Amino acid sequence: MHTLLKTLLAVAGVALATTAGAQVKLYSGEGFHGQQFYVDHPMRDLDRTDFNDRASSAIVEHGTWQVCSDSHFQGRCVTLRPGEYRSLDRMGMGDKISSIRPMEQYGRADERRDDRPWDRNYEYRR
């Protein structure tokens, strides 16, 4: 019985780890092409990852995320909600992202929102 319980707990843990994986996928090319970089936690400085100022498109799988043009969440910051962003150029962030963090951990997302039309009218696909 203990072996069965341990096995079930292990399977549940793997399932949770898989769903809690990448929350945001950044791509070096527009239209989700090129190199990929997965983000599942705050990253203050993408320069250490070799993906600094390289993201041209993104897919936000879960949560609301803030991307900023400078490290340590400085410079111009934009809020991304779940959905597909085929071109980050449309919001002035193409090849400019240097830091990224989930908004749920840093106050209310609507207080830091950039209310440009593209933010509300992105194309969302599951």
The candidate with the shortest Cα–Cα distance to 35, out of 48, 49, 20, is 49
Cα–Cα distance measured from residue 68 to residue 81, given in angstroms and rounded to the nearest whole number:
14
Kindly report which listed range (12-26, 47-61, 82-96) carries the lowest average pLDDT score. Answer: 12-26
Answer whether 0.85 is exceeded by the pTM: no
Cα–Cα distance measured from residue 46 to residue 38, given in angstroms and rounded to the nearest whole number:
12
Burial class (CB in 10 A: 0-12, 13-18, 19+), 113: middle
**Domain at 22-120: CATH code:** 2.60.20.10
Cα–Cα distance measured from residue 33 to residue 86, given in angstroms and rounded to the nearest whole number:
9
| pLDDT cut 90: percent of the chain above it | 63
pLDDT of 18 higher than 50: no
